[in-house]
Amino acid sequence: MIAVHGSTVDIPTQDGTADAYLAHPDDGTPHPAVLFYMDAFGLRPHLKKMADRLASAGYTVLVPNVFYRHGRAPVVELPEFINPAERPEIFKSLRPAAETLTPEAAVRDAGAYLDWLAASPLTTDGPAGVTGYCMGAGLALRTAGTHPDRVAAVAGFHGAYLATEAPDSPHLLADRITAELYFGHADQDATLPPEQINRLEDALTAAGVAHHTEVYAGARHGFTQADTAMYDAEATERHWKALLDLLARAL
């Protein structure tokens, strides 16, 4: 395993300053950039561990606190082990932070994150990879659709509301995407029912986007998150293989 260095950094945006976690191989050389979008529970120790693992594969990984408009991470106090069934108030406490991130704000932020990575001496020249979890999968899809020349690969896992009937649904950006995409969906996921999976697949196919979609049998929404009750170790390892294979091909 490659030794990894992690630190907190501040990213200037059009709307303020986003705090973020940065992980990169501790070898003093630049590596391909990966923008890592958090799930709804936010930037916390588990996501930092995931970023470290990705960095150990040879990438410079930036995990922004996309709720920075509401405050620095952690924006709400979370238990060490998150079980929404036992703590339904967690989602209620997160709602004000989530409401600060409109689709328009997300697109502005994406440009700032990509700018910061491109300017960093820790990254190589060329487009970035993007990965996202839960709500982060939608952010990753928006980033690919609004900054197509700057994104070469996108992965989304247990993504939420990726292809709704809303006029600003992320899947409607499919015809602008030039990156290669991979999606690992949970088959027990109320936030992405089969009709949305099919709608996303149809949009990507019609737009001629290079993509691969898999539905992880038996997996629940949030299956990659080891600090939650939704965690699935087998599905998580499958996700790592898919993600690393995609980044190796595209970056």
Tens of each residue's pLDDT in the chain, 251 residues: 689 999 999 999 999 999 999 999 999 999 999 999 999 999 999 999 999 999 999 999 999 999 999 999 999 999 999 998 888 899 899 999 999 999 999 999 999 999 999 999 999 999 999 999 999 999 999 999 999 999 999 999 999 999 999 999 999 999 999 999 999 999 999 999 999 999 999 999 999 999 999 999 999 999 999 999 999 999 999 999 999 999 999 99
Amino acid at 73: A
**How many CB atoms are closer than 10 A to CB 194?**
11
- What is the pLDDT, as a whole number, of residue 87? 86
Residue 238 CB neighbour total at 10 angstroms:
18
The pLDDT, as a whole number, for residue 211 is 98
Q: Can you tell me the distance from the alpha carbon of 44 to that of 150, in angstroms, rounded to the nearest whole number? A: 27
Return the pLDDT at 88.
Answer: 87
- pLDDT value at position 114? 98
Token digits of residue 221 = 């929404």
Indicate the pTM of the whole model: 0.98
Q: What is the largest CA-CA distance in the chain?
A: 47
Token pair for 186: 């949970």
Residues annotated as catalytic (active site), given as ranges: 134, 189, 221
Structure tokens at 232: 């699935």
Q: How far is CA 210 from the centre of its chain?
A: 19
Q: What is the pLDDT of residues 95-132, one digit of tens each?
A: 999 999 999 999 999 999 999 999 999 999 999 999 99
What domains can you pick out in the chain, each with its CATH number? 4-250 (3.40.50.1820)
Task: Provide the pLDDT for residue 244.
Answer: 98
The predicted pLDDT at position 172 comes to 98
- Predicted local confidence at residue 85, as pLDDT: 87
Q: What is the Cα–Cα distance from 26 to 6, expressed in whole angstroms?
A: 9
- The CA distance from 135 to 156, in Å, is 9
First to last CA, the chain: 20
